[in-house]
Amino acid sequence: MTVSSNSDAPLLQVNELKTHFPIRKGVFSRIGGYVQAVDGVSLTINQGETLGLVGESGSGKSTFGKSVMRLVEPTSGEVRIDGVDITKSSRSEMFNHRRKVQMVFQDPYSSLNPRIPVGRIVAEAIRLHGIASGREAEDMVVDIFRRVGLQPSQTRNYANEFSGGQRQRIGIARALALSPKLIIADEPVSALDVSVQAQVINLFSDLQKDLGLSYLFIAHDLAVVAQISHRIAVMYLGRIVEVAERHELFKNPRHPYTKALVAAIPTPNPKIKPSADRALKGDIPSPSNPPAGCRFHTRCPLAEPRCKQEVPQLKISSSGHAVACHLA
């Protein structure tokens, strides 16, 4: 089931996307199994909307984002951008599709070439796609730098001359160079200090207002996602377990996993203690050997025999709140 907001024409529509990685064993590298990183995910994002995607490390969030970009090839399913299924696109067709979708990576330093001035890094895509060249491309880069809060003179500097927050702004500038409709932000603030996180999130929000951008905002911190998202999807072990509007998700979380994530959000009031009965116990299972039935049943305090056998379907209510749980 595809869970979307109210628009009839989503910018991004993902249908039953699966990304499985083969496990090779022995001298002859025979396939002995598969890592089911993404296993049947369906989501939509509308123009000007931010969908937050949250879950623990190992839940498949980053693989999902890279699969949407086809930086990782999906095993099956559809990824439609403006109605076109890019999983069937050729390499030359993907070159054009990537003007519509760009990515901001988690580590702003390793994603930047340390041997090239950052201005040239941002200008490279502009020249490669034939948007502009020479002085015109340089002027475009200066304009983009100003937009993300950097000085024009800094275009001549190298990545090691910037702080972590500034490097992430350069990563955002590079994503903006092709005037995309959708930006996939993969843990874009997890490596930054708290104060810098707020600045970068505010930058994302301002760019969305000014340019009408859409975001897939991936993070493991539900509190961070809540600051920028219109809707939030919760992912566990390769599958979506709950999707709802931001305020609805925090007010009325229905899946036990979502309840545990909400309960784990730190509060500034020392008198309020975390709910012990909602605390997650144990580690997330291996995606190469996921549990049968509901994948969360091995850690769920409410699990029943049915949960160990039957896979819960993602059911959507009249309010648009979707949850995959037999007990919800």
Write the pLDDT tens digit of every residue in 249-301.
999 999 999 999 998 887 776 666 656 556 688 889 999 999 999 999 999 99
pLDDT at position 7, please? 47
C-beta neighbour count of 255 within 10 angstroms = 25
Separation between Cα atoms, residue 135 and residue 128, nearest integer Å? 15
Separation between Cα atoms, residue 143 and residue 103, nearest integer Å? 20
pLDDT at position 32, please? 86
pLDDT at position 254, please? 95
Beta strands in 76-159 (DSSP E): 76-81, 84-85, 101-104
Question: What are the structural domains, with CATH classification, of the chain?
Answer: 12-88+220-323 (3.40.50.300)
Write the pLDDT tens digit of every residue in 217-253.
999 889 899 999 999 999 999 999 999 999 999 999 9
Task: Kindly indicate the confidence band of residue 120, based on its pLDDT and cuts at 50, 70 and 90.
Answer: very high
Write the pLDDT tens digit of every residue in 142-189.
999 999 999 999 999 999 999 999 999 999 999 999 999 999 999 999
Mean pLDDT of all residues in 47-53:
97
99 token code pair:
């003007």
310 token code pair:
């039957």
Q: What is the torsional sign of CA 7, 147, 219, 289? A: positive
pLDDT at position 15, please? 97
Mean pLDDT of all residues in 102-106:
92
pLDDT at position 25, please? 86
Q: Which of 65-74, 100-109, 239-248 has the lowest mean pLDDT?
A: 100-109
Half-sphere exposure of 93 (CA within 13 A, CB side): 9
Name the amino acid, one letter, at 308.
K
Q: What is the torsional sign of CA 249, 252, 254, 256? A: positive
Q: Note whether 235 and 218 are within 8 A (CB).
A: no
Write the pLDDT tens digit of every residue in 1-41.
566 555 468 999 999 999 999 998 887 788 889 999 999 99
Q: Note whether 218 and 55 are within 8 A (CB).
A: no
Separation between Cα atoms, residue 285 and residue 302, nearest integer Å? 18
Q: Note whether 256 and 277 are within 8 A (CB).
A: no
pLDDT at position 243, please? 97
Q: Note whether 99 and 179 are within 8 A (CB).
A: yes
Query: Coil, helix or strand for 229?
Result: coil
Paired with 219 in beta bridges are: 54
